[in-house]
Amino acid sequence: MERRTFTFAMGGSAAEQAAREQQNQAAGAERLLHLQSTLEALSAVPGVDSAEAILGAPMGFGGSNVGYAIKGRSVFQSGANLPDAELRPVTPGALATLHIPLLAGRAISPEDRATTPPVLLINQALAQQQFPGQDPVGKQIMCGYDNVTSWWTIVGVTGNSIDEPGAVPSPTFYVPVAQHPWGAADMQLLVRTRSAAITPDALTQHLRQTSPDVAIKASTMTGNIQQQQRTSVFRSVLFAGFAAVSILLSAAGMYGVMAYTVAQRSFEFGLRFALGAQKGQVFGAVLRRALLLTSTGLVLGIALSLSVTRVFSSVVGKLPGFDPAAYAAALGAVLALTMLATLVPANRAARVNPNEVLRGDA
């Protein structure tokens, strides 16, 4: 008789599941209450205009990237090919504190709580991507954040923000943290002041007195921008270094290939001179050969670059599009250096002595 082993996964009873849900709600409410008390303590500091919170501050860190479905267009399910966007829980006044404008609809308000229908704001980049020429207010979205069983209603459209200087704005959702209280323990605090005399150190000291259990790393928005710029500069210098090494290697390779070719064709060049060819004709023939090889490599390189960019875009998300100026500059640099590297072999070919070559070969 064949024996089989079966494994069953069993959930708890309805009462147990309800009890766990109540515990989760209680824990989330406690986190939210702690966040609110911390913000109230900061707001009480003289000279502070506003104190709010966000998960994923511009020029900072954090946030979540989620796939989403639009009601009437797609279904949120495993394996579906869905667009994605940044999702950032915020307190009601966070976007006003960051001076991110409201372009349409309404802002998140204190009335948006866990007991009210879920809502969200979308930024202009997402509105232009998914609702071109339409009013997105009132449309509904479902995404994989902490509750994928209900549709969230778009109630407003905001301006764009960026995470680093020169970056392309990413499609972004802003959701009220009161409806997603589990994120309340990981928020970044935003403080706008009326005076430069209120320093991050002073606010840090105040927080340590009022909320000693909060981990603090304070910085200014200007400091964050400078840090992002340093990161961007370092990355640019690093990539420029790799590019320079690649171009130098291509130039060295072209020199080696053409030098070998000239050496192999010395008899041919000597015979041409014996038959009346001019130095300029031989010199030009070598340069044209180098130009043909270089152009073939550049065409293949462009095709490979565009193909790789398309593949990476399908894996890591949208990448910067085709930039004709950048490609033209790169092609010009490669072409100029490789042709410059060919001048020495071409000059050597133009100076071949037909008497020596033909006598030695004979």
pLDDT at 356: 72
Same-domain check for residues 67 and 144:
yes
pLDDT at 193: 83
> How large is the average pLDDT for residues 46-74?
82
pLDDT at 11: 47
Number of Cβ within 10 Å of residue 22's Cβ equals: 10
Strand bridging mode 172-176 / 119-123: antiparallel
Share of the chain above pLDDT 90, in %: 20
| Residue 4 in domain | no
> How large is the average pLDDT for residues 292-304?
84
Q: What is the band of 224 on the pLDDT scale with cuts at 50, 70, 90?
A: low
Domain termination residue (choose one: 219, 245, 276): 219
Range of the domain at 190: 15-219
| Residue 5 in domain | no
Cα 285 from Cα 298, distance rounded (Å) = 20
pLDDT at 218: 67
pLDDT at 119: 95
Q: What is the pTM of this model?
A: 0.60
Same-domain check for residues 130 and 204:
yes
In this predicted structure, which of 36-40, 150-154, 225-229, 252-256 has the lowest mean pLDDT? 225-229
| Residue 7 in domain | no
pLDDT at 16: 57
In this predicted structure, which of 65-69, 116-120, 226-230, 347-351 has the lowest mean pLDDT? 226-230
One-letter identity of residue 320: P
Same-domain check for residues 289 and 207:
no
Same-domain check for residues 315 and 334:
yes
Same-domain check for residues 96 and 195:
yes
- pLDDT tens-digit series, residues 122-154: 999 999 999 999 999 999 999 877 766 789 999
Listed in sequence order, the residues at least 6 apart from 296 whose beta carbon sits closer than 8 Å to its beta carbon are none
| Residue 6 in domain | no
Same-domain check for residues 235 and 208:
no
| Residue 196 in domain | yes
State the burial class of residue 37 (Cβ atoms within 10 Å of its Cβ: 0-12, 13-18, 19+).
exposed
Q: What is the band of 8 on the pLDDT scale with cuts at 50, 70, 90?
A: very low
Domain termination residue (choose one: 219, 245, 269): 219
pLDDT at 309: 72
For 118-150, b/e burial (b = at least 16 CB within 10 A) is: bbbbbbbbbbeebbeeeebbebbbbbbbbeeee
Same-domain check for residues 47 and 140:
yes
In this predicted structure, which of 125-134, 276-285, 307-316 has the lowest mean pLDDT? 307-316
pLDDT at 201: 72
Cα–Cα distances in angstroms (integers) from residue 48 to residues 55, 101, 202, in the given order: 21, 21, 12
**Which of 126-130, 210-214, 238-242 reaches the highest mean pLDDT?**
126-130
Listed in sequence order, the residues at least 6 apart from 106 whose beta carbon sits closer than 8 Å to its beta carbon are 155, 156
Greatest extent of the chain over all pairs of C-alpha atoms, in Å:
104
Domain termination residue (choose one: 188, 219, 250): 219
One-letter identity of residue 9: A
Q: How many domains does the chain have?
A: 2
pLDDT at 9: 39
Strand bridging mode 119-123 / 140-143: unpaired
Same-domain check for residues 153 and 256:
no
One-letter identity of residue 226: Q
**Which of 98-107, 181-190, 324-333 reaches the highest mean pLDDT?**
98-107
Q: For the chain, what is the mean pLDDT?
A: 79
For residues 79 and 88, the model is more confident at: 88
Strand bridging mode 64-70 / 102-105: unpaired
Same-domain check for residues 258 and 165:
no
